[in-house]
Amino acid sequence: MLEESRLVSIERLRKNARSRGADAVVMMCFDSGSIGNDMQSVAAYGTAVRYV
């Protein structure tokens, strides 16, 4: 389940970067944590860049 959450967060990061006109995302990182005893949160973040 954690692996699937990471894949979903990466895809969301890609979509958000594309919607802002970016060509790539650099310095991508994951942030994760526990929510209660049985839930996990995963976030992917980075810097969207455009080649010039």
The pTM for the full model equals 0.76
For 23-44, the pLDDT digits (tens) are 999 999 988 888 878 788 888 8
Domain count, the chain: 1
- Whole-number Å distance between alpha carbons of 1 and 20: 29
Query: What is the percentage of the chain residues whose pLDDT exceeds 90?
Result: 48
Residue 3's pLDDT is: 83
Instruction: Among 1-5, 16-20, 33-37, name the most confident range.
Output: 16-20
Q: How far apart are CA 31 and CA 5, in angstroms?
A: 11
Beta bridge partners of 47: 26
Range of the domain at 17: 2-49
- Name the token pair of 14: 């890609």
